Amino acid sequence: KETEFMIRSECSLRHSASLANKVFIQRDYTDGTVCKFQTKFPSELESRIERTLFEDTVKTLNNYYAEAEKIGGQSYLEGCLACLTIYLIFLCIETRYEKVLKKISRYIQEQNEKVYAPRGLLITDPIERGMRVIEISVYEDRGSSGSSSGSSTTSSSGR
């Protein structure tokens, strides 16, 4: 499961690194209440990861969420069928949103493995934070300059 992977990777990072900081990517509400995250590159990550990689990740996530929340033929069908069966059908089948959420968690796991963990970063699935933020944990190698409380000095926020 994705969360087991997170714990394992966190443990392995912990052995060689310590949690320095957490960056929170906020929601972008300019298109309304659909789930969409800001693609603005936070300054805390400037030295850790390339801007394009980060933006790709966020844009892909936004596309996934847009796919999940799309109102169209399939959602009407699902809604009508569910209503006719007084919503008992959801005991048997998965909703489209749940299917896309699984895709998202696989994608995040893959991104963590390939892109973020090698750079000492870890992305938390937004669903674990109430779909409010994408939390990126920043790890630093133990024994390097002790800037563990770096969060207090970075007063310029990533807004």
Partner 1 sequence: MSAVMITRKVTRKWEKLPGKNTFCCDGRVMMGRQKGVFYLTLFLIVGTCSLFFAFECPYLAVHLSPAIPVFAVLLFVFVMAMLLRTSFSDPGVLPRALPEEANFIEMEIEAANGNVMAGQRPPPRIKNVQINNQIVKLKYCYTCKIFRPPRASHCSICDNCVDRFDHHCPWVGNCVGKRNYRYFYLFTLSLSLLTIYIFAFNIVHVVLRSVDSGFVNTIKETPGTVLEVLVCFFTLWSVVGLTGFHTYLISLNQTTNEDIKGSWSGKNRVQNPYSHKSIIKNCCEVLCSPTYPSVLDRRGVMLEDLSSPTPSDASAASTHQSSNPVSQTTKSSAPLIPNEHTPDEAKPGIGSGTQKSTSSPKEEKPPSPTSPNAVAPAVIKESSH
- In the list 10, 53, 56, 66, the residue contacting partner 1 (rule: CB under 8 A) is 10
- In the list 49, 58, 101, 136, the residue contacting partner 1 (rule: CB under 8 A) is 101
Distance CA 75, CA 83 (A): 12
Residues 6+ apart with CB under 8 A from 77: none
- Match 């030295």 to its residue by tokens: 47
Q: Is 40 in the site for partner 1 (CB under 8 A)?
A: no
Residues 6+ apart with CB under 8 A from 83: none
Q: Is 119 in the site for partner 1 (CB under 8 A)?
A: no
- In the list 39, 41, 95, 107, the residue contacting partner 1 (rule: CB under 8 A) is 95
Q: Is 12 in the site for partner 1 (CB under 8 A)?
A: no
Q: Is 14 in the site for partner 1 (CB under 8 A)?
A: yes
- In the list 12, 51, 63, 70, the residue contacting partner 1 (rule: CB under 8 A) is 70
Sheet order of strands, 134-141 included: 17-25, 134-141, 121-124
Residues 6+ apart with CB under 8 A from 44: 21, 23, 138, 150, 154, 158
Report the interface residues with partner 1, using CB under 8 A: 3, 6-7, 10, 14, 18-19, 22-24, 27, 29-33, 68-71, 75-76, 78-80, 82-83, 86-88, 90, 95-98, 101, 124, 127-133, 135, 148-149, 151-153, 155-157, 159
